[in-house]
A and B are shown apart, each in its own frame.
Chain A
Amino acid sequence: MSDAAAKMNPYTSLLNKAFAQSIPLNCQMEITYRCNHLCTFCYNSPSGAREMTTEQIFEALRKVTELGVLYLTLTGGEAMCHKDFFKIAKEVRRLGMALRVYTNGYLLADKRMVRRLADLDPIEVEISIHGARPETHEALTHIKGSFHKTVQAIENLNEVGIKVLLKTPITRLNQGELFEMKALARRLKRNLVFDAVITPKDDGSLDPLSLRPDDELVRKYWGEWYSELHDGQLPPKANHCASDGSANCGTGRAGFTIDPYGNILPCVAFRRKVANILEVDDIRPLWVSSPVLNEVRDLSVQARELLDKRPEGDGSYFTFCLGVAEVQTGDPLGIYPQAAINAKAVKRNYDLLQIGASREDKANSA
């Protein structure tokens, strides 16, 4: 057994086995595109088609359960804007899946809503926060008062003991207050993760990219700022969903996404239609034999191999998204600028750490 395998904890070991066998543990279900915010950089692109009814969502959840999914994330749009959000969340729990909710938190400023949610024992609520100050947050959400409501929501969730993770996409508008946001998260006693990649819209529009942070800021973020912003951690060298390193990420493998129309997609970012869940009786055979899923899985392996062969030697520092690549370059294996900038900055950070470590070694041995 390798040292790495020997050190692996049982949970990671089981996740790796599930990944290798393409056993889907996660499903993100977008239950509506309706939203009470107007975020400039939102990637959703509603087609105008009719969204699933609550009964159809229940039918979809049943099929997802039969596939053996463990973690079900309700998202949107704004999931809590769905008129039957609590009915749907209750059904998720009744079917024996662990419930996670992605929300902007606006409606959770109401303590009654928080108590109803607490009754369902969600394992986690993830809340997006876009600035450390109302004017920054609201410049992105375009909803006056949304900052205070989001902060109130976090405090309410803390009171009832629900685990909360805060998420911030770094934009041109909030890039100057990352440390203030970190301080705010500390005050709220919650972890905060930043996302340095602004993605194009699902329909291919590149409009959101105008809000991308400056390249120099991105270099600083992945370099000298990263550890301080993440409690001493080093930047990730791979996608969080790439469990065992054999593929670039878990798209169509570790989980999948269902959009509000019932379309099954390999993941939230790689939106190739696999099938419509309402048009198939059982998604288990589909999961094994779908040509779309098999192609996506192959592409993910190819992406890993291509990155590992990069002459720049920075391939192992890439957090690369096939979906973003396809929308931005027309090729799911095409290197898009943000990924290359990020990888270069992460590599530099690790290189500097090595130089520092070797200097320390020399000093110690002298």
Chain B
Amino acid sequence: MSGSKPYLSERPRRKPDNAYRAVGDDGGLVVVPTRNQVKVLNPLGSRIFALLDGRHTRDEIVAIIAGEFEVTEEQARQDLDEYLRELEAEGMLAPDDESAPEGTP
């Protein structure tokens, strides 16, 4: 349980109202309406963002990233931790106490 720190959540989840679109394998776009900005995600950022659905655990995300991007699990975990902190600072992660999405175990 991570309390009020969404970036520490076991199943991190992006805020559902941050409009997000992957563009093939080239990256993705996410709209942050509260700031009237479009954030451009690189391929790694886009893949992680897509996996922040509240269903995948941190370990599962790390394993997927390590496999797809050919990095060590240690490196993938470090990238994920860093990225989650960044997203939380930008207010783009949903708090743990929000109702979980359908299908969450």
Binding site for B on A (CB under 8 A): 10-11, 14, 17-18, 21, 23, 25, 68-71, 93-94, 96-99, 121-124, 163
Question: When the two chains form their complex, are residues A70 and B26 in contact, meaning their CB atoms are under 8 A apart?
Answer: no
A17 to B36, CA, bound (A): 22
Neighbour of B24 across the interface among A17, A69, A121, CB < 8 A? A17
Instruction: Check A99 against B21 for contact (C-beta < 8 Å).
Output: no
**Chain B residue contacts of A14, Cβ below 8 A:** 23, 26-29, 40
Would you call A71 and B16 a contact (CB within 8 A)?
A: no
Q: Which 4 A-B pairs have the closest CB atoms?
A: A121-B33, A98-B31, A98-B19, A70-B21
Q: Which residues of A contact B20 (CB under 8 A)?
A: 70, 96
Please tell me the number of chain B residues within 8 Å of chain A, measured between CB atoms: 20
Residues of chain B with a CB closer than 8 A to A25's CB: 21, 29
B21 partner, pick from A68, A94, A163, beta carbons under 8 A? A68
- Identify A10's interface contact among B18, B22, B36, B40, CB under 8 A: B40
Proximity string of chain B (19-62) to chain A, C-beta cutoff 8 Å, 1 when within and 0 when not: 11111101111010110101010100000000000000000000
A70 touches B31 (CB 8 A): yes
CB distance from B94 to the nearest CB of A (A): 12
Q: How far is the CB of A41 from chain B (nearest CB, A)?
A: 31
What is the CA–CA distance of A134 and B42 in the complex, to the nearest angstrom?
Answer: 49
Q: A14-B23, A70-B31, A123-B31 are in contact. Are A96 and B17 (CB under 8 A)?
A: yes
A residues less than 8 Å from B31 (CB atoms): 70-71, 98, 123
Residues of chain B with a CB closer than 8 A to A11's CB = 29, 38, 40
Other than the known A17-B26, A99-B33, A163-B36, what 18 A-B pairs have Cβ atoms closer than 8 Å? A14-B26, A14-B27, A17-B23, A17-B24, A18-B21, A23-B24, A25-B21, A25-B29, A68-B21, A69-B21, A70-B21, A93-B33, A94-B16, A96-B17, A96-B18, A96-B20, A123-B33, A124-B36
